[in-house]
Amino acid sequence: MNEITLKHGQGRGCVITRRALFSASHRYWLPEFSAEENSKYFGKCSLSPGHGHNYELIVSMAGDLNEDGMVLNLSEVKHAIKEEITNQLDFHFLNETWPEFDTSKSKGCLPTTESLAKVIWSRLESKLPIISLKLYEQPTLWADYLGNNMEAFLTIRKHFAAAHRLAREELAQEDNELIYGKCARTNGHGHNYLVDVTVRGDIDPRTGMICDLGLLQQLIENLVIEPFDHTFLNKDIPHFANCVPTAENIALHIADILKKPIYEIGANLHKIRLQESPNNAAEVYPETPKLKNLKTNI
């Protein structure tokens, strides 16, 4: 198909998104590794004949509105994504579908979430004015790609249950209730927290990974989930003995815990998002201490 061009009319910029779904399987296995090495590096993902996922792709595009009040004709967008991506990947074995994932060749890489997002970008960028891609391998694991060479973002979602009380010890109860409302009640209350850990780094041209996914998951589990789960944060986590465990402070503390260990396995901690309830969440960006003018797609 021909490249879709923007029609500049009203001069009003807008970002639109298109969602697409496909099911595909893959296997993490490099021929230069022994069976033991593949098992060590890739765990169950190395098992033959592979495993599958229901992928969700979100394509974000930007441009000016045309005289029809659109950035792009969505029928053309749908056709481009279907022709270039989903028709080729749906119900296929990724390792054998696109030449970028042929690891029998020296330039081939494994079809990880982050490398797949990068290759999808390369196949869409001449067809659509994309500004970002988000690819979900599963609801708890996804990658973001912004077209920055080998750089990508990978997010892991975990959860833990914990109780807390929001109160400053130096204040009277009535003063704490003025600040924190019901959250200052003396016996505390609990939440089922969701924590999203987003790392940034370059995709390895062979493994297709920003960093060792198994090690990253283990770090999050061992340093955050296991210590925090089913605790009364004020009493069981030493940091919160003198620090009010608001969602903001919990997110900051998790970032402080994870930043160095994640760097040591080859990635940078980009963001911690802590969702305390369906109505309340906090985000911190360790790489960007001052957030006044922060603009981010991730």
Hey, CA dihedral for 35, 36, 42, 43, is it positive or negative? Answer: positive
Q: What is the pLDDT of residues 41-91, one digit of tens each?
A: 999 999 999 999 999 999 999 999 988 888 999 999 999 999 999 999 999
| pLDDT the model gives residue 288 | 81
Q: Over pLDDT 70: what percentage of the chain?
A: 93
Same domain? For 48 and 169 the reply is: no
The pLDDT-based confidence of 34 (bands split at 50, 70, 90) is: very high
In a domain, 32, yes or no: yes
Domain assignment present for 194: yes
Long-range contacts formed by 277-286: CB under 8 A, 24+ apart: 277/191, 280/247, 281/247, 282/246, 282/247, 282/248, 282/250, 282/251, 283/251, 284/248, 284/251, 284/252, 284/255, 286/255, 286/259
Q: Burial, 68: exposed, middle or buried (Cβ in 10 Å; 0-12, 13-18, 19+)? A: exposed
The residue-averaged pLDDT of 161-187 equals 96
Let me know whether 77 and 200 are in one domain: no
Whether 83 and 128 share a structural domain: yes
Q: Is the dihedral of CA 198, 148, 120, 63 positive or negative?
A: positive
Structure tokens at 106: 């020296």
Active site residue 276: yes
Distance CA 28, CA 158 (A): 23
Same domain, 138 and 162: no
Q: State yes or no: pLDDT of 4 exceeds 60.
A: no
pLDDT, residue 290, reads: 64
For 280, the token pair is 């309340």
Whether 128 is in a domain gets the answer: yes
* pLDDT at position 1: 34
Measured CA to CA, the distance from residue 166 to residue 69 in angstroms comes to 48
Check residue 297 and give its pLDDT.
60
> Same domain, yes or no, for 246 and 123?
no
With respect to residue 2, please indicate whether it lies within any of the assigned structural domains. Answer: no
What was the pLDDT predicted at 66? 87
Tokens of 249: 């402070």
Per-residue confidence (pLDDT) for residue 10, from 0 to 100: 43
Domain match, 121 and 78 both: yes
The residue out of 126, 147, 168 marking a domain boundary is 147
pLDDT of residue 6 exceeding 70: no
Domain limit, last residue, from 128, 147, 166? 147
Q: How far is CA 27 from CA 16, 167, 284, in A?
A: 33, 50, 34
Q: How many domains does the chain have?
A: 2
- Give me the pLDDT at residue 8, please: 41
In the residue annotation, 183 being an active-site residue is answered as yes
Largest Cα–Cα distance in the chain? 69
- Give the active site residue among 183, 221, 248, 283: 183
CATH, residue 32: 3.30.479.10
Residues 24 and 57 in one domain: yes
* Residue 26, helix vs strand vs coil: strand
Average pLDDT score over residue span 235-264: 97
- Write the CB contacts of 171 (distance below 8 Å, at least 6 apart in sequence): 179
Report d(CA 199, CA 203) in Å as an integer.
12
Q: Which of 54, 53, 70, 71 is nearest to 62 (CA)?
A: 71
Domain that holds residue 160: 153-298
Asked whether residue 103 falls in the same domain as residue 244, the answer is no
Give the tens place of pLDDT for each residue, 110-165: 999 999 999 999 999 999 999 999 999 999 999 999 999 999 999 999 999 999 99
Chain-wide mean pLDDT for the chain? 93
Percent of the chain topping pLDDT 90? 89
For Cα atoms 156, 158, 45, give the angle at the middle one, nearest 5 degrees. Answer: 55
| Whether the predicted pLDDT of 292 surpasses 50 | yes
pLDDT, mean of residues 28-41? 95
Q: Are residues 70 and 113 in the same domain?
A: yes
Are 197 and 115 within one domain?
A: no
The answer to whether residue 91 is domain-embedded is: yes
Instruction: Exactly one of 100, 114, 137, 276 is catalytic; name it.
Output: 276
pLDDT tier at 3, thresholds 50, 70, 90: very low
85 shares a domain with 65: yes
pLDDT at 291: 59
Catalytic residue among 96, 230, 264, 287: 230
